[in-house]
Homo-oligomer: A and B are copies of this chain.
Amino acid sequence: MPMPPESSRPRIPDRLLLGPGPSPMAPRVMAALGHPVLSHLDPAFVPLLDEVRARLQRLFGADGESLALATPGTGTSGMEAAVANTVADGARVLVVVTGYFGDRLAQMCQRYGGQVRRLEVEWGQACDPDRLRAALVRDRADMVAFVHAETSTGVLNPARDLASVARAHGARTIADMVTSLGGHEVRLAEWGIDVAYSCTQKCIGSPSGLAPIAVSGPSRQALVPARSFYLDLALLERYWRERSYHHTLSASLVYALLEALILIDEEGLEQRWARHRRHHVAFIAALEAMGLSLLPAPADRLHTLHAVRVPDGVDEASVRRMLLDRWQIEIGGGLGPLAGRIWRVGLMGAGSTSDTLLTLLDALERALTAHGHRLEPGAGRAAATASLAETLLRE
């Protein structure tokens, strides 16, 4: 027998995940991930698909005739499925670009043969519905695609208004809800959004690898034949509803997603949105007390992902690295034009709690102080605590 090669099994640190995702996993979700594996067609497994579909439909606020399932990949697979199944060759698509993921959406529509026009909005700002209206009056479009929660800038776009303007001009809508679903108010049916997709590892709180997607009932007839086989919604639906084999769906990921969706329903959607808002408001109060500010204007801010301006003279990457190395806390840096200029702090899913917020603030205070940023010791924590108390009393 030859000697087996030496195995270099890695030591995996236990991080507090407060970047743009993945977010922390609740113990119950982690336990579900470890359930015994079942095959994708096992009679004990397939009923779980119905439960996931029903809970996703509710989470999206989609109508009873809508299609809701999860594509077998990360949020980007959801984006690609949304585009591949709705954008016909030559379709006129107006893409609202308010950041990195709006840009990715535009690239995706181009790859799938859309005639893409971009409505560019400065990074850090939301899209004014009047600008969309003006763009649609100037040139008609078959579809409008936009990002509800722009993960690269921390901006919340007014999904309801954008969808309403699009509808008024005869265009269908695709909405990216990767960083909003499960943390922000989402009401597909009420807002008249045709197709939306998300991911599992942010506000939902399960591991990445599945992408929830919903197509409204009225829009299902408008789906086009997808070039992609793997992300063909007609084939995916046949598997999710009729158990007709399409791919070997990972039971482990489905167990975890289902457990996360059960946790969401136990908490209640409105309570969950309120919880994300509460910690967002407290975080802002703390940031102000620490002499820091957010990139987006107050009305445009996500409750789930925060683009914090790096103060003058402070080294963005060095602070981030110190949080990671000393306190095992992950936050994100900026993308594209915002690289080096912002930190991205996610308070999402099981990461949106008072404990995680205060832990972060204590570490951030020490890291900023070590990097020459002057602040009053304990001011951030005090402001956050006061804000939390005030909000809780009001709720």
Contacts and interface: CB of A to CB of B under 8 A. Distances in A.
Contacts of A72: 73-74, 77, 209
B80 A5 contact: no
A76 interface: yes
Interface stretch (A134-142, A180-188, A242-250): A242-250
A34 B36 contact: no
A17 B39 CA distance: 8
Interface in A1-41: 2, 4-5, 7-15, 17, 19, 21-22, 24-25, 30, 33-40
Interface size class of A (residues with CB under 8 A): 35 or more
Interface in A279-295: none
Contacts of A37: 15, 17, 22, 24-25, 201, 207
Chain copies in complex? 2
Given A5-B266, A228-B111, A12 B35 contact: yes
A15 B42 contact: yes
Given A74-B249, A76-B246, A76-B247, A2 B268 contact: yes
Contacts of A12: 35-36, 38, 44, 255
Interface of A: 2, 4-5, 7-15, 17, 19, 21-22, 24-25, 30, 33-40, 42-44, 47-48, 51, 72-77, 79-80, 104, 107-108, 111-112, 199, 201, 207-209, 227-231, 245-253, 255, 258-259, 262, 265-268, 324, 330, 335
- Which 7 residue pairs are nearest across A and B when measured between Cβ atoms? A209-B250, A4-B266, A12-B35, A208-B248, A14-B36, A208-B250, A76-B247
